[in-house]
Amino acid sequence: MNKITTQIKIIGLSLSLIAIALILLTLNLNQKSKNDSIVVNIAGKERMLTQKMAKELLLNSVRSEHAFEEFEAVKAEFLANLSDLTNGNEKTNITPPPSDDIRSRLQNIKHKSDLFFAVSEKIKNGDNTKQTIDSMYLINNELLKAIDDTVWSYTREFEAKKERLQILQYVGGALIFMAVMLSMYLTKKIEVKFDKFLSETKEIGALKCDEHEAIIDAPEGSGELDQAKNELKSFMRKVEKVVSKAQKALDESQNAIAELEASTKTIETRLKDGKIDENTKKEMESYIDKSEDLTITSLEDIACTKEMLQKFSQTLSEINKKIE
């Protein structure tokens, strides 16, 4: 199982990534909403321009002197807007059609507008018959309806997109909430383990190697970690004392065995010089051999133990350096 600290790092990284993603998503949502509003406004303006073109045609049909300059200006604006809606325009933040349905509707508007402009050319050329005017009315109404339907399609598409982005925001918010709750849970576990660590270090620090040893308290105002560090230092000093005593005991044991070995050699010498019957001599030699074997074994054990204590002492020194 991963360490709690590793889990918290993972959760912290996840929280950061989710938060960054949500921020970017929100900024993107705001920018998209702004751009979408521009597109809907342009699409809605096309309806107004269509009505204005029809109005200019009707006014000129009853005037004695025709003036189609205003009509041509409105027509140019209408066609420019329709081109932007169909192909997109980065300069004005107008995006291309977001769906095939809207693209098809824009093509229908282009078809209806071509019919409307064909009739308008007749009126500009002096054809003001009732049939031509009625045809202009009919096509104009069809064009207005096509534009209205397209505006509603834009609105539905952008609202659906906005809802999808909002759902992603809710999901991201839920993930952040879950991550926060999990981090609080893990933090509580760390707190429990930390309290246990402090308690155990106090118990370790309270251990005595002898009855006369005093407990060294941490300086006043020290934090919990400083107190734990002080307790560990105190314990390490006590362990070093124990190791030192053990080494002294090993040295004394080694000296005693050496003396025993010397005594054994003395006895061997006396056995060779003394007048002792063969049975007793063999029995004494058997005891001496066993004593020598025990001596060799004891010296080997002492040497191994001493080497282990030296390594342990070196390890303690390294630990003390880390604690300092």
Task: Report the pLDDT value the prediction gives residue 112, as an integer from 0 to 100.
Answer: 94
The residue-averaged pLDDT of 165-170 equals 80
E strand map for the chain: none
Task: Report the pLDDT value the prediction gives residue 1, as an integer from 0 to 100.
Answer: 45
Task: Report the pLDDT value the prediction gives residue 270, as an integer from 0 to 100.
Answer: 62
Question: Quick one: CA dihedral 264, 265, 271, 274, positive or negative?
Answer: negative
Q: With contact defined as beta carbons under 8 Å apart, do 186 and 8 qualify? A: yes
CB atoms within 10 A of CB 63: 9
The string of pLDDT tens digits covering residues 218-230 is 555 456 656 666 6
Query: d(Cα 259, Cα 262) in Å, to the nearest integer?
Result: 5
Residue 89, classed as helix, strand or coil, is strand
pLDDT over 70, % of the chain:
57
The string of pLDDT tens digits covering residues 236-254 is 666 667 667 666 766 766 6
With a CB cutoff of 8 Å and minimum separation 6, the contacts of 137 are 54
Instruction: Using alpha carbons, list the distances in angstroms from residue 22 to 83, 163, 168.
Output: 34, 15, 8
Q: With contact defined as beta carbons under 8 Å apart, do 173 and 22 qualify? A: yes
Task: Report the pLDDT value the prediction gives residue 267, as an integer from 0 to 100.
Answer: 64
* Chain CA centroid to CA 98, Å: 33
pLDDT over 90, % of the chain:
20
Is a pLDDT exceeding 70 seen at residue 81? yes
Query: d(Cα 7, Cα 160) in Å, to the nearest integer?
Result: 37
pLDDT category, 166, cuts 50, 70, 90?
confident
User: In this structure, which topology does domain 4-190 adopt according to CATH?
Assistant: Four Helix Bundle (Hemerythrin (Met), subunit A) (1.20.120)
Q: With contact defined as beta carbons under 8 Å apart, do 146 and 105 qualify? A: yes
- pLDDT, the chain, mean: 76
The string of pLDDT tens digits covering residues 121-147 is 998 888 888 898 899 999 999 999 999
The residue-averaged pLDDT of 60-67 equals 72
Q: With contact defined as beta carbons under 8 Å apart, do 226 and 324 qualify? A: no
33-37 own/partner pairs: CB under 8 Å, 24+ apart? 33/158, 33/162, 34/93, 35/93, 35/94, 35/95, 36/95, 36/154, 36/158, 36/161, 36/162
Query: d(Cα 305, Cα 187) in Å, to the nearest integer?
Result: 44
Query: d(Cα 86, Cα 106) in Å, to the nearest integer?
Result: 6
Task: Report the pLDDT value the prediction gives residue 78, as an integer from 0 to 100.
Answer: 95
Where is mean pLDDT largest: 37-41, 47-51, 247-251, 294-298? 47-51
Closest-CA residue to 74 (of 31, 98, 45): 45
The string of pLDDT tens digits covering residues 177-191 is 887 787 777 778 777
